[in-house]
Structure 1
Amino acid sequence: MPASGTFDCHNAPALPFDAAILGAIVVKSVTLHPQKGNPPPRLAETPSGLINSIGIPSPGIDVFIQQILPVYTALGSPVIVSVAGYSANEYAELVAALDGLKSVEAIELNLSCPNIRYHRMPAQDKDLLQECVAMARGATAKPLWAKLSPDVPSVGEMAQAAEVAGADACTVINTTSAMMVNIHTLRPMIGATRGGLSGPALLPIALAAVWDATHHANIPVIGVGGISTVEDVVAVFAAGASAVQIGTASFYDPMAMPRLIGELDRYLKDKGIASIEELKAKIRQSQTPSAEEV
């Protein structure tokens, strides 16, 4: 599935593939009230990565529900709505607004965007994270995913905290805080100074975070961060993920998601593995210590 913020079919031309092949569509984070986002420039390339500081431009939840959500639901895949709040109360209001909509399969709580100005980032504060998740949990019966930050001492402990507060899954990870400097102007290359690093450089960080999360929490983990090849996909499953999201790879290869779906099918066929579930079972078996190792 696409990572939130990387799949825009509302303002974009026609898609180059049938979106119904995707496991789900995760839409760009929506806020309670309209906001413009961060000043340009918003993107800067790095070695093996990309820094973005978009700042979540949003039409607000009401306009989103009325005008944008129907565009995504018409694509034929389950729709996951990502929401971003500035307080636990805002997360609860956002979730409540989506609760009665049959077209929304699940809600991803963006608790970890490094590109907006929080008083405190929920994904970096265990108490605030639990407050946000718990209040959202009280506002809906829909599945809730907590999107976590890599910029903490232990992603696993934050995943465990999200589980205790009522999250049904964790999305691991968001981008990591970063910056680049233009040596000619001697100024930051991003208008907001810092942004979030994504792309291949993030993959090893994401793998460690997924492993940490799956060894602390007993809820599914959706792996995201730097995935661009079928080998990356398999590695993320091997780290413990139940599903994967693709982000930056789709910027330079709009066919990245259907390509990876096809390559994963061929990988499984070549290995004599019938399904993703069988692959996960083999991973679990291979990682179970033998009697000699114990």
Structure 2
Amino acid sequence: MQTIISEKRGIAQIVTLNRPEQRNAISLQMVDELLQQLAEAERDPDLRALVVRGAGGNFCAGGDIGDMLAAQQSAADGGSDAFYRLNRRFGELLEHFNRTPLVVIAALEGAVMGGGVGLACIADITIAESNTTISLPETRLGLPPAQIAPFVVRRIGLAQARRLALSAARIDAQLALALGLTHQVAEGTEALDRALEKQLQAIAGCAPNALAATKQLMLASANLRGDEDLGRLLDRGAELFAAAVQGHEGREGARAFIEKRAPEWQY
């Protein structure tokens, strides 16, 4: 891994975007390494969470200009789909991180721009240090926020997403919290680390399979298109519930509640 640092810590894999000189701009190599790390984390039965943060005091300043220049050269050499492939590859990253059964936590600091906002919006839990600034600068560069737009709209709603994207607005951590883009603001890096640890402790008390099933249901709920979809989702929910009640986690959860102790989950 050349663009990220990865460390296993208890139930969590801590992944740090590590291009501080570029404010952790996302290159194609970083996309590939993040996808590789996610696949490895999903295969580890000990893990329930994946934390994404940035090195050097910034979370992520969006896409990498070097990749844009390389795509420009490729296009000049006849590669007509170079920019399409570059852009769509990042969308694949967001899709994979969005639907992973792991709980994804984004810890934001400093600059969060463009693609970095996309990563913040696909996280299940997003915590921002109070110095965080969030912006969608694409239109000032003559570009649309092509891959992140659906995730920003899902996160904060169409009206607010349009306002931020169409004005290339920059907002602070408190406004991001008010809009629902983030879930918590921490005053300083140490407070951010404490808030992150508190979230991980809470997740550690939850059953692994129940977490994955709950995330599956939540994501499906956001895509309902009518009563038929609702009925099918409720059927699926009943199936997952029945399996959980009769499985180890349901039995252990009930026993632990009755015995007034912390449950012991199997991995």
Q: Return the structure number with greater relative CO, CA threshold 8 A, min gap 6.
A: 1
The answer to whether the superposition gives a TM-score over 0.5 is no
Between Structure 1 and Structure 2, the one with more helix by share is 2
TM-score if structure 2 supplies the norm length? 0.30
